[in-house]
Every structure is written in structure tokens, then in C-alpha cells.
Amino acid sequence: MPGETHAVVGQNGSGKSTLIKILAGYHAPDRGGRILVDGAPLPLPARLRDLRAAGIALVHQDFGLLDERSVAENIAVGAFAVRRRSRRVDWAAERARAAEILARLDVRGLAPDTLVGGLDPAQRSAVAIARALRNQRPGEGLLVLDESTRALPKDGLEDFYRVLRTVVGAGGAALMVSHNLQEVLRVADKVTVLRDGQVVEAARDAADLTERDVARMMLGRTVTQARHVREPSTGGGPPVQVRGLRGRALQDLDLDLAPGEVVGVTGVAGGGWEEIPYLLAAARRARAGRVRVAATALDLARADSVDCIRAGIALLPENRIAHGLATTLTVAENVTLPRVRQHGRRFAIGRAWQLNEVAAVLRDLDVRPRRADVPVGQLSGGNQQKVMLGKWLAGRPRLLLLHEPTQAVDVGAREDILRAISATARQGVAVLFASIQPADLAAVCDRVLVVRDGRVAAEVDEPTEQAVVESVYADDRASAAQKG
């Protein structure tokens, strides 16, 4: 409805992405359905000009911004105003238009000529929304948010919500797709639940629901949250030792991880904790630091990622599409890729070992569909995440490095992933779990390190959600108390 934010939730593979792609004109829907926007029918399959005329605008999870271009250029891209005779871009008009849209959204301090590459996450989200609304008339149309807050830090969320409230408050409608049930219940007015391509709950009042209610509707059963219980591992040996690790923000980290131990690292965005997995895997060059895994010692200021993989270090990066998977290759090819040289021979990679590895990953992580020949790009986000995790678990690492392993997955996939991480630790693997999600850290970690201004500021020995949150924001509360 006008002036309403309506959330669509469901497990990966439930149909959310298909709905978004139909609204974007990427997919042609089957015959028999129709879409009305402000009472007018939308031609299907929709073309770009149809979407613009109807006022349908999308903000995707990666925002799709051009870092080397200005705010005004990003807002105007694809629809530049040109002079009638010369056909040159009217930059004065574009800058004025950008300033007008930003002012309508109550976004302040953002000059149209500013390069987008230098903006913080909240400002980037504002530019993405402004671009989406360029051709919309206030109080009309539909703004579609596809996991648009996924990459935003906590302090950037409030600015995003404020801009969204401005759009909806003017009479526009917003459709939100999100895996974050806490966010859904906080922001949305109505909630619709999809399961296996069907609507199982339609337009429920968000105020009457709890996270457990929504999770039950999504899964068709009650969710049992993962709870960490410290268990002895079947592996032994010396601890993984990290000494003097330094990066761009991180300063002189010393850390021991025992075999079978899950150590969490967290903090506020930009505090340096996000660097740790990448520095330890040599995916990002360390300024200084050493790591010892079993009998192998590496100078991380000189080592490369191949050295780390050979030492038994595996990294699950935050961005699975850009850095973790080859989406045009099959599930089997992705899972086995790191070990082709190890098992294969020249001109003969071998099949038996590949089939065994892939079958175990499909079974143990419940990847759906349970087929090795499907291109990874055709899987839902949660199943892609499982394939990326399985790729490294199949190699039996000694040190597993994780950065937001449950990001943008549904509650069922989250349970499967956290369960697999705990099972891996019980096999004697040391695990470093970097996340901003206190619930995830409490579910699997033996202890959690809170990094602030590049250094370990606190250690939570018995992690609970409340204890982690209080430790992360302890300085904020102390500062507020002093001011008071």
C-alpha cells in the first residue's frame, strides 16, 4: 500500500530472487499473472522504459555503484540529460538534479561532485536510493530493496532507515527482501512469507510477530537455535600461534588457537578485526606478523596465499561471488578446485576422488539440489555459501578462517552452516570466526575477542549475545556516562 514497507521473507530457494528478477524485467513470468502499480498494469515481461514509467526502482545488495565516478554521475547513469542540439551531457542539470533528489531524501553534506569511492557505507546507500528514485514522482511507484542493508555497519543502518522512512512517509511503497528477521520486524509494516515458491503467509502485521514466529513460517517447523557447548575435539597437537600481526588498522595481534577451539573476533566496523582472516590467509599483505601451523612457520609480510594453503590454512571470505566461488563452474568443479594439483596428473585430473569429495559435501551440508553438475551461479545464496564452505572442509584444513559465514542466508542454512563449523572444530581444526553478528558468535565460539582501534580491547570467555554486544560497545557507554 502507499506509505507502507512490505517485507518478503523465505528460505533460500523459496522464490524471493525470482520475484525480484521479474520486477526488474530480468525474468519473463509465466502467463496468467499481472502486476498493477498505482492502479496501472505493468507490461510483462517488463522493459526498462516500462519500469521507469511505472516508478519501479531497485536497490540491490551491492548497490552497483561506480567508485571512480561522482555522486551526480552515479545518480544519472543510464539516463543522462543531454542538450538538444549538441547531444552533450548537461552536467549542470545533472548536478542540480542530484542535489534536488538528495535534498528530498534529507541527505545532507553530500556534494554532487564527490567521488563515490571515498564515501562511507551509509552515504553509498543514500546514493543508490537516490539513483533508484531519480525518475519517480514523490508519493508514487515502488522502491524494491534487495538485501540492501547487508553490507552496512550498525551506525550506517540508522541513516539508511531514515532515508527509507522519508520515501515511505511521502506516500511511496517499499518492498523489502531481507534475511535479517530482526530488521524485518523493526522496519516493515507487513510481512509475506514464501516457502517452496508458494505464499504461505500473506501481509501479516509485523507488529504482531516475533522472529521465532517468522522463522517457523519460513521453515514449516519450530527453529531450534544453535547453542554452543564446549566439547573435546578428536585432534591434538600444538596450537596455531600468531605473533605481531599488523595490517592497515590492526596493530600487533598475538593469538593462540588450540586444535578444536573456535575463537571469535568482532568489533565496530573499521576497528581492524575484519582484516584478521585475510591477513592470516595472505589474501591481504600484512605489514608484519608470523603464523605457525603445526610444523610450518610463515612470515605473513612475505608469504602468499599458496604458501598458506599448503600450510593448511583455509579462508572463507565475506563476498562469495567476488572472492569465493567461480559461478560459471559446476558444484563439483568448485568443491575440488583447490586440490586438482594435489590429486591429479598431467592431462588426467581423475574422477573417483572428485566424486567422493563432492558427494560428502552435498550430503553433510545438505546442498540443494543435490547435484554435482549444476553451475554454482544457479544455486540460491545459502546453497552457494554451503558449497564455498564445503570446498575448504573437503581439504581438511588445520586452521579455518571465516568472515561472516552466515551472511545473507536464511535461518535453515544458518543452522546447517553453524552446525558444520562446530563439527569441524570437534575434528581438531582451529577456527577463527570473524563476525559482527553476536548470535552467531555466541552459538559456536569458545571465546570472543573484541578489537577496538586495531587492538584487542576485551575478551569474552563465556560468549552470550548480551555479553558480546556489551563488550563491543563498552567504550560508547563509558563515553556517554562521562559526558552525562
Look up residue 262 and give its amino acid. Answer: V
H-state helical runs in 344-380 = 352-364
Q: Which residues of 203-236 are buried (b: 16+ CB within 10 A; e: fewer)?
A: ebebeebeeebbbebbbeeebeebebeeeebeee
Estimate to the nearest angstrom the gap between the alpha carbon of 179 and the chain centroid.
Answer: 10
User: One digit per residue, pLDDT tens: the chain, 484 residues?
Assistant: 999 999 999 876 688 888 988 998 888 999 888 999 999 999 999 998 899 888 898 888 778 888 899 999 999 887 776 777 777 877 888 888 889 888 887 888 889 999 999 888 778 888 988 888 787 777 888 999 888 776 666 666 787 788 888 889 988 899 999 877 888 999 999 999 998 788 999 999 999 998 888 878 887 765 555 455 556 556 668 999 999 999 999 999 999 999 999 999 998 777 899 999 999 999 999 999 999 999 999 999 999 999 999 999 999 999 898 899 999 999 999 999 999 888 767 767 778 888 999 999 999 999 999 999 999 999 988 899 999 999 999 999 999 999 999 987 888 889 999 999 999 999 999 999 999 888 899 999 999 999 998 999 999 999 988 888 888 876 544 444 444 4
- Helix %, strand %, coil % for the chain, to 5? 40, 20, 40
The CATH code for residues 5-219 is 3.40.50.300
Q: Which CATH superfamily groups domain 240-312+397-483?
A: P-loop containing nucleotide triphosphate hydrolases (3.40.50.300)
- Nearest Cα to 374, choosing from 426, 312, 329? 329
SS3 72: helix
CA distance 450 to 468: 8
* Contact residues for 152 (Cβ-Cβ < 8 A; gap 6+): 121, 122, 125, 160
Residues facing 89 on adjacent strands = 82
CA separation for the pair 192, 210 (Å, rounded): 14
Half-sphere exposure of 349 (CA within 13 A, CB side): 12
Report if pTM > 0.75.
no
The DSSP element (H or E) to which 197 belongs, if any, is: none
Q: What are the backbone angles phi and psi of residue 102, rounded to the nearest 5°?
A: -65, -40
Q: Does 5-219 match 240-312+397-483 in CATH topology? A: yes
β-pairing, 198-205 vs 190-195, is: antiparallel
The residue extents of the domains of the chain are: 5-219, 240-312+397-483
